[in-house]
Structure 1
């Protein structure tokens, strides 16, 4: 039997989860918080949250989105501690107002833009679809509530809160932000929350930061190395290992060395300083010798991988440039590092 127009209209209204009792979330999702480097737009609710100690995320590079499909053109895989946040702005705040506030706050903090879009012509609709919903919903916890219509013909209707960004008025900002001597990678997308009838803007944020792994420290891949060097002119590497007080580089360092060699081979004109750093344990003279010896060991390992010695210089600066307090072991571990610095 063919359904009547009235029946079809009823089915359509039911698909909107119609209920007079639907309310937007009034409180943040449990066990969540703003990321320390970026506070929320005033009055927003942190309605979705996920954090993984070690994961890989794909960000667009400077070429943005593909012209042939709804994907990032040359996605860059970045590994580390991943924080994903979904904010719901107050009713009546436009996506443009929310986006501009984030944009200005990040610029003031020294954010280095890799790619951005502000219109469909610039690829924002494609960027929305490139943010694969399945991937960005993984492990997300959501606050209690829905997205009710603000009035009009859809008064009393509501939509699911989970994952509710859209391509309407979508804008994306991608880049790197220096924090505590490290370069964090950040992606931000702001749009209408689900559709115009909700009267709200939603913002989805991904932040990937270097972090110690249970079996060692972060090995930064060649693409991430290139981005870090482009953004900051230097990058700290924690995937290079030495015994305490020794300069011989350990076999566990091979993965990081291979990635360092790969980025240098991909950029034949690039010359770098290899700079060794120590914590404050021991004398200055001993730490100067130790840090330079370790830097020289890294240079030797890179030349063995086919990098011309003339492109590399080794320097050691002991504990003169800490990135964290030496009062505790976690800070000392961050200070014991080797950096690649663009000459």
Structure 2
């Protein structure tokens, strides 16, 4: 664990109002706290999303109106983004929740970039965060202007900047408080992972090794729909099969180890079937292809690092 993670976890544990994840039930399926921060006592995760690499646009000033946002009102950052929507049952104030996070983040070396409360945040702050974050507990888009708090902090280090955004609102009608947390771990995107192999390159690898790994087939996280930008790689695979009519292949889907094995087996199978279906749409006889998903059972690298996980997320063609 990174030293800064230990500092923040210790700061939270030292405060009686914060609880360990094991003390909280009813989280959304597959959801968990970010390693950087524990949760406020009594909180449950209602919404959860992780993007390995994406862009976040973070308010650094009040948002009085979405249609009047200036160029200097927002900061664009890239990296791994974890978005978590918490529901805290009971009538905790937004101030109480936010002060706990402020103390822990300060002890962990985070500096305040911008913070505000209620009307000082601007009329459209909540709406902007709800629409840009896309992960909110039910009811978060409602207006709680008089009982809301916003905090954006940053910590700089040799591995890049880490931003923590918090938006806390009281919902007294339902006797609860809603907390949205977005953590952006800035890091350069891993490049050089993907190249579109030509049909002749694919054939050479199959002849030499009986298989070829393809990194130019893209899916959204936890989904099996082949994205349009996969077209160049699909066309080269189709050329390979068209020019070698006797060739029969297994289309094998691989994932990293994130998530449960059962879910990844099912996901990798659906992805393999989606690739076979896409090739069939390019006039390849479906009888020449067998789709198989093996999840994380055949890694090419350690799943302990993002670079290793990126290598392991792939589609392979294996000669039958």
Normalising to structure 1: TM-score of the pair? 0.44
Normalising to structure 2: TM-score of the pair? 0.47
